[in-house]
Amino acid sequence: MDQKEIVQRIDFLINELNKHNHNYYNLSKSLISDYEFDSLLLELQGLEKMYPQFAHIDSPTQRVGGDIQKSFTTVKHRYRMLSLGNTYSKEDLQDFDQRVRKEIEGNIEYICELKYDGLAIGIQYQNGIMTQAVTRGDGSQGDDVTANVKTIRSIPLKLREGDYPADFEIRGEIIMTRSGFAKFNEKRKKLGKQEFANPRNAASGSIKMLDAKEVSKRPLDAYLYYVVGDDLDFTNHYQSLETARQWGFKVSDTARKVNSVEQIFDYINYWDKARNELDFEIDGIVIKVNNFAQQKQLGFTAKSPRWAISYKFKAEQVVAELLSIDYQVGRTGAVTPVANLSPVQLAGTTVKRASLHNADVIKSLDLHIGDFVKVEKGGEIIPKIIAVDLSKRKDNAEEVSFLTNCPECNTELVREEGEAAYYCPNVYQCPPQIKGNIEHFVGRKTMDINMGEATVSALFDKGFVNSVADIYSLGAEQLIQLEGFKQKSVSNLLISIEKSKDIPFEKVLFALGIRYVGETVARKLAQYFENIELLKSATYMELLMVDDIGERIAESLISYFLDAKNIEILERLQNYNLNFEIIRDNETFPKLLQNKTFVVSGKFTQSRDDIKQMIMNFGGKNVSSISSKTDYLLAGDKMGPAKLKKAEKLNITIISEDDFYKMINN
């Protein structure tokens, strides 16, 4: 083919594939087989690889993702993404209608729409081509997740021919369908990975992944429901929805025009029952004034529009018989009771189990085996018991008493003061605790070792690993004994283990699984103490000096480092050359603030996190509260008067943001 024919063929393939994508994902019509579609896509990929100068920004090949991002860029919304006021009360809807009619003369028309339970997104289009996709964030700014959103096949990369504005934004909700979620979770379960709690969490977690190629493998979908821009040729909301559908967007056909509160209630009552028949989750109904001129007249509050409100459905309840109670031991040793129930239908699924959370919940419910209990599902996989029908209790029903010993290792359970849960203290001999700690250690947010739950369980059952340190003594002769492991999978796991030695100190610290030390706390501890030796030797008061470290965390850290077994594991990990200190670039940041402690309070031109990072870069330390050992109070706008008063009383040097910049610039 000559150059002209190549360009024509690429254009043809892109148009054909985009057309079939739209038919399949937006209109539920399949006009060609999967094989034919894949053949066209492979041909396009081959041509784009040979002639990259002719590749298009709207090519379907863009949907498979590209390079892994290091982080998301924060983007300020051009038009604020306000949240809607919520209500569970029909009386509140009547009040809303009365407020609207008080402000607006003449007829009022409302649009009722489904309230999707997903992740809000705003997508920018310029000249019909997607240019940016941003999450809601705090309403003023959000994360740029364009690469991930491009993988969602129901969202067009390029609009079909139409009379659309040169520059506009369309908003909607990214979801995972119930059927897609079920298959996705089943696949994760087979791979030994942790299952997601519900479709909303799965959708939200997927969009926040840094690898768009992984996002492209997840069954994400989207419904679009709101067009915003400076040059829109619409007079009402319903017209904008219909037009957006013509442009190629996936817009639900469930929206309805109504003229009264009674009609709003009819719509709500219908979908309250019919929602379980949908293949996606909704948690309520959104009601909007249809006319844009009337919307403008009604205006906004600081947080939400006055012309819209959302009605939230109450959680569905059913009655089931309590057959028995199982007790599960988690990674931290916490023992969680789970009720086994007679099977009942709830929110479109068969429910056989329900969470009881802890001993206090069992006691407050006065549970007896054989009780008929009210079960509610509020979005999680395992519903919860909220009440007992005492009128149906049998005379000889056995009262439920919480366990006194661990169901796994028979160790006597303990309950610390102020804690709701009972714990098994046998950390290093209790199987689920050992496996749970290892699973946490190898996780994606920690050491990122390619080892799922099933692999951890197999290694533990064969006696190859009994602590996280044992991971680094594994060899090919052990791994090859695991079911399903061949030479390639053995090699990949060993490479993954070796690569984890490059993981930075703050993630290693989080991976250790110290109680109450989550990802954020681990990062602050690592940045403050800079190495494990200083952290190990820190006193209780020194720990409290760290920003956001309270008494409970400090006590947990002291206890952890007093345990000889923990010290032994740490020493082994250090001998395996894991990172146990912060590595700083001394040439980039001179230690101008060495040994100086700062309390940062108030609002600044930059974020407080950025300022605290600068303090650490230049050798200083951040503390959360003022004491006689504090060197500087960095005071911003609207700083609390109590800190200022204490600083003045202790003669602490008070500096402004400008003063701080002069310090580091000098």
User: In sequence order, what DSSP letters do the residues of 19-63 get, joined into one string?
Assistant: HHHHHHHTS----S-HHHHHHHHHHHHHHHHH-GGG--TT-GGGG
Q: What is the arithmetic mean of pLDDT over 167-194?
A: 87
pLDDT in the model for residue 549:
87
Q: What is the arithmetic mean of pLDDT over 442-466?
A: 93
Which residue, among 494, 524, 541, has the nearest Cα to 615 in the 3D structure?
A: 524
Q: Minimum mean pLDDT among 67-76, 356-365, 556-565, 626-635: which range? A: 67-76
C-alpha angle 355/359/363, rounded to 5°? Answer: 100
pLDDT in the model for residue 28:
58
Instruction: Tell whether the model's pLDDT for residue 68 goes beyond 60.
Output: no
Query: Is 315 strand, coil or helix?
Result: coil
Euclidean distance between CA atoms 391 and 393, whole angstroms: 6
Instruction: Tell whether the model's pLDDT for residue 348 goes beyond 70.
Output: no
Query: 69: pLDDT confidence band, cut at 50, 70 and 90?
Result: low
CATH no. of 597-665:
3.40.50.10190
Domain positions in the chain: 3-64, 86-312, 317-392, 431-502, 505-575, 597-665
DSSP 312: E
Euclidean distance between CA atoms 573 and 507, whole angstroms: 14
Strand partners, 637: 603
Instruction: Tell whether the model's pLDDT for residue 492 goes beyond 90.
Output: yes
Furthest-apart CA pair in the chain: how many Å? 89
User: 431-502, what's its fold?
Assistant: DNA polymerase; domain 1 (1.10.150)
Query: 520: pLDDT confidence band, cut at 50, 70 and 90?
Result: confident
Which is higher by pLDDT, 639 or 554?
554
Instruction: Tell whether the model's pLDDT for residue 554 goes beyond 90.
Output: yes
Q: How far does CA 95 lie from the centroid of its chain?
A: 35
- What would the two tokens of residue 19 be? 């057309």
Query: 26: pLDDT confidence band, cut at 50, 70 and 90?
Result: low
Euclidean distance between CA atoms 617 and 374, whole angstroms: 55
Spelled out in words, what is the top-level CATH class assigned to the domain 86-312?
A: alpha beta
DSSP H or E segment with residue 123: strand 119-126
pLDDT in the model for residue 404:
94
User: 3-64, what's its fold?
Assistant: Helix Hairpins (1.10.287)
User: 505-575, what's its fold?
Assistant: DNA polymerase; domain 1 (1.10.150)
> How many alpha carbons lie under 13 Å from residue 121 in its C-beta half-sphere?
29
pLDDT in the model for residue 448:
92
Do 597-665 and 505-575 fall under one CATH topology?
Answer: no
Which residue, among 53, 19, 17, has the nearest Cα to 37 in the 3D structure?
A: 17
Q: Minimum mean pLDDT among 77-91, 210-224, 229-243, 260-274: which range? A: 77-91
- What would the two tokens of residue 354 be? 């329900």
The pLDDT > 70 percentage for the chain reads 94
Output the average pLDDT for the chain: 88
Which residue, among 135, 129, 138, has the nearest Cα to 148 in the 3D structure?
A: 135
Which is higher by pLDDT, 122 or 196?
122
Active-site positions? 115
Strand partners, 374: 319, 387
Query: 442: pLDDT confidence band, cut at 50, 70 and 90?
Result: very high
- Residues 320-331 as b/e (b if ≥16 CB within 10 A, e otherwise) read bebeebebebeb
Q: What is the arithmetic mean of pLDDT over 221-229?
A: 94
Q: How far does CA 149 lie from the centroid of its chain?
A: 16
Q: Report DSSP letters for 553-604, one per residue.
A: HHHHHHHHHH-HHHHHHHHHHHHTT---B----TTTS--TTTT-EEEEESB-
Q: Are 167 and 230 in contact (CB under 8 A)?
A: yes
Q: Are 504 and 530 in contact (CB under 8 A)?
A: no
Query: 63: pLDDT confidence band, cut at 50, 70 and 90?
Result: low
CATH code 2.40.50.140 for 317-392: yes
Phi, psi of 409 (to 5 degrees): -125, 0
pLDDT in the model for residue 584:
62
Query: 29: pLDDT confidence band, cut at 50, 70 and 90?
Result: low
Q: What is the arithmetic mean of pLDDT over 387-401?
A: 91
